[in-house]
Amino acid sequence: MYSYPDASSLVRALRPDEPITLLRPHAAERAARFFVEKFPGKSLYAVKANPSPALLETLWAAGITHYDVASLGEVRLVHKFLPDAKLCFMHPVKSERAIAQAYHNHGVRTFSLDSHEELEKIVRATATDGTAAADLELCVRIRVSSDHAKLSLAAKFGAEPAEVADLLVATRQAADSLGIAFHVGSQAMTPLAYAEAMEKVRAAIVEASVTVDIVDVGGGFPSVYPGMEPPPLEAYFETIHRTFEDLPISYSAELWCEPGRALCAEYASLLVKVEKRRDNELYINDGAYGALFDAAHVSWRFPVELMRESGSDEISEFAFYGPTCDDMDYMAGPFLLPADVKAGDYIEIGMLGAYGCAMRTEFNGFGETEDFTVEDEPMASLYTRIAANDLGNVHHIGKRSAQ
């Protein structure tokens, strides 16, 4: 894959008509090393955030050996490219066929569940000639609050408090290793989210009186976006470690987490071309059915930067329309750019390594993109200590903050 120093160099060289995905493997490698070295337990990469084989291999090389997979397709993908990786099937509702193939064909031994029905399904699917498996790691997912997160994950999964004790006891009987898992929601903005969830873990263990071997605090670790400036990740790790140490669990119990966004958000950005300007609405060549799903459907604000050597010092708020014929292909922003942006300009949209790359479609005949590696720093980072007021959600390339 050809490499450019930065997006502006690529624009000068290619003047592309289609969207370009800019990859920064060094940023993903740095994030992975951070978690490997600083998180006080085992980090499982949440593959759903970005299943790119190149990214998987980058994370593996940086020390990520465990992978949170949510489907049989993800099991097969990771097993193909990383045959020695430990795969943990952490979707709490799976088909019996998917469980059986994961266990018998791909060596998966770790499964999540949040109901007696799912437990029974796992026990049936992993049996051999009527004999129950004796090597299962089973994590009971409990429901916790998403109040401190930007995107809730509190509605769909997780055993209710009244159900947890009985489910833990039943799961303990079927499991070689018993775990408790939770997810505080995506983009948790305070370590308090984990402290409150750990209190629910404590209550569940006490009520069930079972020996717990694994505590999985899930994902939710944040990245930096305009208007979202979280505390340092070390503060999250310290809170998790302190509350884990206070739990009534085995001295040999393991602590797990499932970072997705935090490992891959900085891995990729998107280079788009402005096809038309109508007042403060810019028609660009990617959108809601491409990498900008979150910008359209959950009003996520990504950092943006005009790829032009000179531009107006006046900054204006813009909305984007994507390339399809659908009125829903609209991203309200606001996205802050020089006031004189016009058709033919290029804009880099940052922090799209998480979910942006994974959610592309070919609706309306759009979706074609090429990948190029760039060597500069991402627009924002928790790993390079960029200040909150230096996010890069503005300006032209001559004004980009030193990183």
Q: Name 274's Cβ contacts closer than 8 Å, sequence gap at least 6.
A: 282, 283, 284, 341, 342, 343, 344, 345, 346, 347
Compute CA distances 156 → 137, 201, 340, whole Å. Answer: 22, 19, 45
* Contact by Cβ (8 Å): 36, 233: no
* Contact by Cβ (8 Å): 98, 73: no
Which amino acid is it at 330?
Y
How far, in Å, CA of 49 to CA of 393, rounded? 22
How far, in Å, CA of 138 to CA of 175, rounded? 6
CB neighbours (10 Å) of residue 246?
11
* Contact by Cβ (8 Å): 186, 220: yes
How far, in Å, CA of 334 to CA of 320, rounded? 9
Q: What are phi and psi of 298, to 5 degrees?
A: -125, 15
The yes-or-no answer on residue 88 being catalytic is no
Choose, from 139, 257, 325, 357, the residue flagged as catalytic: 325
Residue holding tokens 């090597």? 135
CB neighbours (10 Å) of residue 160?
11
CA proximity to 70, closest of 104, 86, 52, 94:
94
Quickly list DSSP for 45-59: EEGGG---HHHHHHH
3-state secondary structure of 174: helix
Counting Cα atoms < 13 Å in the Cβ hemisphere of 288 gives 19
Quickly list DSSP for 265-327: GGGEEEEEEEEEEETTEEEES--TTTTTHHHHHS-PPPPEEE--SS--S-EEEEEEE-SSS-T
CA proximity to 333, closest of 226, 229, 188, 189:
226
Q: Which residues are catalytic?
A: 325
